[in-house]
Amino acid sequence: MKKIYFLLMGIIALMFSSCEDEDKKVREFTNEFVDKVMNEDARSLHRMIPGLMNCETFGLDDYVPGKVVFEKLPDGYHIQLSEHSSMVVKVSSHGKLSVVSTHGVAVFDPDLYDFAIRTGWVDSTMNDAIVDSLLSESEFRDYMIEHIIHELRNKITVTGGETGGVTQRDIAVTVHNDTEYNIPGEAYNVVYRTEYDAFPHNNETITFDGEDLPAHSNIIMCGIKRGVGMATHTDVCLQFDEECLHNLCMLLYKANGHEYQDWKNGKLN
């Protein structure tokens, strides 16, 4: 009887020792992983996180070492690193630790990520590797940007003309915004050109800096040019800042959350 008792006590002690060793290994593994995240060691993290290949920026908001929560799973651990960041770690039968997935560790372009959330391109429950893979595919983003830019170019227009005498002429141009978007001034400018067949050396171009343009509104810009009689040709046009316009498209678009799925199904016009 005593032999059985001591055998059971030995087995229990061994189990506790094994659990303590595993717990220690998991905590050390977690600390090493966190160090790589904080140092943005992208090369190491790409090797450690399955499927994550493109993201180069990493971080942990509100990380507090003493508040990391370890939840035991059948074959590993769910580790809550901070309020919005976590990872799943697998423990093999030989005691080897490996990252299965992470959430909120990879840091994506905030404007692109927000656009992706709003259009249903990604959702907040997806792990980092899935988000990384989806956002690396630019076809949907390019389609949407082209779609929005087409609307802006067709529904933001400008008209204008000039009045006055021989030596000085007043210019007035009106920018019409028939979209539902508020357009910042840095996204565009207005160019007014005059050409004279008889006096080509007097041809003139005047550029008006853009002004903030609320949705469904008009603004008037005024200027003065020297007068040399009636111009043979006048032209007024909008010039958009292409980079600014591309960034604006993602910020401005009022999504319904189904655009990505509709695009995949060929239903998005």
Looking at residues 178-191, what average pLDDT do you find? 92
User: Which distant-in-sequence residues (6+ apart) come within 8 Å of 34 by Cβ?
Assistant: 60, 63, 65, 81
Looking at residues 162-178, what average pLDDT do you find? 82
Contact at 8 Å (CB) between 173 and 180? no
Task: Tell me what pLDDT residue 169 has.
Answer: 76
Write out the two tokens for 219. Answer: 């603004």
Placement of tokens 């905590």 in the chain? 27
CB atoms within 10 A of CB 89: 22
Distance CA 191, CA 197 (A): 20
Tens of pLDDT, residue by residue over 97-144, are: 999 999 999 999 999 999 999 999 999 999 999 999 999 999 999 999
Task: Tell me what pLDDT residue 7 has.
Answer: 45
Contact at 8 Å (CB) between 106 and 37? no
Task: Tell me what pLDDT residue 164 has.
Answer: 67
Tens of pLDDT, residue by residue over 56-90, are: 999 998 899 889 999 999 999 999 999 999 999 99
Task: Tell me what pLDDT residue 13 has.
Answer: 41
Task: Tell me what pLDDT residue 11 has.
Answer: 46
Q: Which domains does the chain have, with CATH numbers?
A: 2-137 (no CATH), 149-252 (2.60.40)
Nearest to 212 by CA among 182, 256, 181: 182
- Above 70 in pLDDT, residue 17? no
CA gyration radius for the chain? 31
Query: For residue 255, what pLDDT band results from cuts at 50, 70 and 90?
Result: confident
- Above 80 in pLDDT, residue 230? no
- Angle formed at CA 259 by CA 257 and CA 261, multiple of 5 degrees: 100
Write out the two tokens for 266. Answer: 């060929």
Describe the crossing of helices 242-252 and 139-155 by its angle, rounded to 10 degrees.
100
Number of helices (H), then strands (E), in the chain = 7, 10
Query: For residue 198, what pLDDT band results from cuts at 50, 70 and 90?
Result: low
Task: Tell me what pLDDT residue 2 has.
Answer: 52
Q: Count Cα neighbours of 70 within 13 Å in the Cβ-side half-sphere.
A: 17
Query: For residue 10, what pLDDT band results from cuts at 50, 70 and 90?
Result: very low
SS3 string, 54-87, reads: CCCCECCCCCCHHHCEEEEECCEEEEEEECCEEE
Using alpha carbons, list the distances in angstroms from residue 191 to 88, 205, 236: 57, 7, 6
Distance CA 34, CA 91 (A): 18
